[in-house]
Structure 1
């Protein structure tokens, strides 16, 4: 596919400033860099290569509102005169949300585009050489359109600051083994559906009294006699659906305005008590932590499934050191890509497991690890006089260390030692840099 860049001069800043005051968004938190001023690079070293993984930008809903259980329950109750006044208000809000979202499903939003453009601009500012005209950049995406849109926005950000004078782009538009491994591995899909993580989640849900919360929340919208006819499981699903709709609203601010509406017209936050949102966000984070992050075992299948991407990071870095085919490698995937990759890298703050699920949020926070447009950058530095390279990892643009690997020049690590550390991890899984990763995904335990 050949892409044509369209450059638009934005007359206003579309970042939803009111969203900054919104809380309890978890993995749907709008992106902001976690660090702006960086540790001085060791004397004589210059950045020469960027290895990058990003999550797609802030997005619209991925599923039709009208196909949700919440929609079905609300409209069935309406037909049976089972909604109270608050339920009628909810129905009206859902109708407007459906109107806004139906033509944008699965796409990044305007705010998501701006997030990625800004990250691209900052990547260029860190090291213009990564994207210089005489260089070639490899851009990899998954088969999902929102990752391609995110890549385009990132590149548009760079092209804007370089006045369209930038590197040649080589595209890999369906790098699913490296970026969508979580959908290609049958053993992982089985783990996701029926794995032992469920018992930990259920333990936390019980401790946080999810069933009682959902019952109380559900009852605020329905006539009492009608509410009694709905089982607890469906009330929980109803509550989860509405929390999902609530958490997407900040990301689609511009799309709401484009429909002649205001944020007050779809103010789903007004239906929730703050303590309900806190609990639902914690449970949503726990779900991500257990299925995509370190969970109760940081050597579990939910982490090791990212091994193909780990090998790809090493292979592409080695290729640069040997022949320099690309000045940077840019990948755009999903939260399910980034969370296990941060864990398998042993990045501080993103790779610590716990046997007590009630303490997980002291160790792992979705808003800091997998917000919209989350990213991991490995920057490679070279000293022309000295032999060897240094690397530095950024998690959402914050310098971070590698748990289990020491360095005298934190946050800069000798690449030789980083490479050996990760090769040992791959070897423990029966892998090397040339292993058949598709076969690995089909037999992972």
Structure 2
């Protein structure tokens, strides 16, 4: 649990942002990172809230249609380090450098050690892997805007005693995100008629933690269940593809061996360590570091100083993690640099830290390191290899649930809103399944890549972690319906749906025909056809002829 002082800092940051939103004015930015994703941060990019212009650009529903339902899935908000890993490894390496005179100066060494220790202390106080102050503020803002965008829906829902449903993967940071979303929703709705958002978050690892057989609480998906079969198939595919002889393994080996990896590592490390020390990394046991208490392979368990492993098991490291090359060392430092962007509220005395000087003037190197992280996520969680859908087919049940929620509501159900909270491992495959912006291009399926054209690369592929799955990334669907019977189908009017990605309205994928040219609204039957291959005789156009 966070200490009282840090809880006050986190609450203060979230309250300032939330208060501004509820007052109807733009919240002060939680970060000075600008209004566009910064490709240096990969998927650790802090969430960028929509501008007033983004919100003003939302298209109204066609005449005669009324709000029916809204639903979403979101990644957890900004968090700290997921475990005692990068900070532990870099400290073991820094201790060796200090003992051997491997820093460019004693002052540089002392500063690096102090920054590592401060970052570790901040994570111990906040809890490894837990939501930070930024993360709380991000989801409170998203929740507030979800209410404001659909205030009419919620007023009508309150009159009919309809409900709000909230679901979580079961992981603590996802649950925290949902709690803060609902807190923001409630504050924005204060004084208005709306269904109660004081609802428990239902744990749905089957739907929101579909990538692993083991659930966040340590249980496993039921033997023989569809969700276990899917998770096992995904895990088996990734194990085969990333193991010896796997195409993804070959692609990653090729990308990581490119000259930019070595040169970027040397560029960054040379500002901290001596050339002799950099050259020694990985050459013998004394210059290979493992995530153990003494840095040796098979050494005693490493836990963050001051942490209680019973309360925070993530504060103890995985001993298999290591630094064996200069690229490993630079990537370890880079991972501390990018997580710092998500810990602004925690970056305060007595544990203030600053990793930005190590990358000052090395922005291109940071972007290359982001490319290395992006490549791994792209191959294992995103569009991946041409001709394969194994990495994103696993998200199909989530898409089915999006459809089911609207079907149930249109059939007279009492759930007006469904809000889901999960992870990058949920959002990335879902984005690929939906062909969302940035998730439309696969990489060549080349078992033995021989050129950059054979693998993922930023020159030929738009996929970026900072775009596809920043912290608090979200996909929201709003559904509307017209009363009465459609004379062309002799059935109730089919609901229409529009989509927001990170609260910006975007069209559905190519091949999904909107109800009119230029519209972002699409019939539910058309979405089922173009996204899931379910045929329909109904015209996608309003008042249009049926399909032939």
Partner of 1:439: none
Contact 2:476 2:503 in 1 (8 A): yes
Is 1:40 aligned to residue 60 of structure 2? yes
User: Which one of the candidate residues 142, 148, 154 is aligned to 2:181?
Assistant: 154
Is 1:270 aligned to residue 270 of structure 2? no
Is 1:186 aligned to residue 226 of structure 2? no
| Highest RCO, 1 vs 2 (Cα 8 Å, sep ≥ 6) | 1
Aligned residue runs from structure 1 range 404-443, under 5 A: 404-409=511-516, 410-424=519-533
User: Which one of the candidate residues 372, 375, 385 is aligned to 2:471?
Assistant: 372
TM-score by structure 1 length?
A: 0.85
Partner of 1:174: 203
Partner of 2:76: 56
CA 1:124–1:65: 2 relative to 1, 3 Å = same
Aligned residue runs from structure 1 range 4-19, under 5 A: 9-10=15-16, 15-19=29-33
State which drifts further: 220-229 or 272-281.
220-229
Is 1:300 aligned to residue 406 of structure 2? no
Contact 1:15 1:111 in 2 (8 A): no
| 1:366-398 deviation per Cα after TM superposition (whole angstroms, max 9, x unaligned) | 222211110001111112245111111111122
Structure 2: give runs of 5+ residues left out of the alignment.
Answer: 1-10, 21-26, 214-230, 284-323, 445-452, 487-492, 536-548
Contact 1:33 1:398 in 2 (8 A): no
Residue 166 of structure 1: how far off its partner (Å): 3.8
Residue 347 of structure 1: how far off its partner (Å): 2.8
Could you tell me how far apart the structure 2 residues matched to 1:129 and 1:78 are?
A: 63
Could you tell me how far apart the structure 2 residues matched to 1:69 and 1:31 are?
A: 28
CA 1:16–1:161: 2 relative to 1, 3 Å = closer
State which drifts further: 237-246 or 379-388.
379-388
SS in 2 for 1:54: strand
Residue 408 of structure 1: how far off its partner (Å): 3.9
State which drifts further: 86-95 or 327-336.
86-95
Contact 1:141 1:148 in 2 (8 A): yes
Contact 2:495 2:523 in 1 (8 A): yes
Partner of 1:143: 170
Is 1:211 aligned to residue 262 of structure 2? yes
Instruction: Give 1 or 2: higher helix fraction.
Output: 1
State which drifts further: 15-24 or 268-277.
15-24
Residue 341 of structure 1: how far off its partner (Å): 0.5
Point out the structure with max Rg over C-alpha. Answer: 2
Residue 117 of structure 1: how far off its partner (Å): 1.0
CA 1:234–1:102: 2 relative to 1, 3 Å = farther
Residue 57 of structure 1: how far off its partner (Å): 0.7
User: Which one of the candidate residues 322, 331, 337 is aligned to 2:426?
Assistant: 337
Partner of 2:462: 363
User: CA-atom RMSD, angstroms?
Assistant: 2.7
Could you tell me how far apart the structure 1 residues matched to 2:473 and 2:258 are?
A: 30
Report the count of equivalent residues.
Answer: 417
Is 1:241 aligned to residue 261 of structure 2? no
Partner of 2:142: 119
SS in 1 for 2:73: strand
Is 1:25 aligned to residue 47 of structure 2? no
TM-score by structure 2 length?
A: 0.70
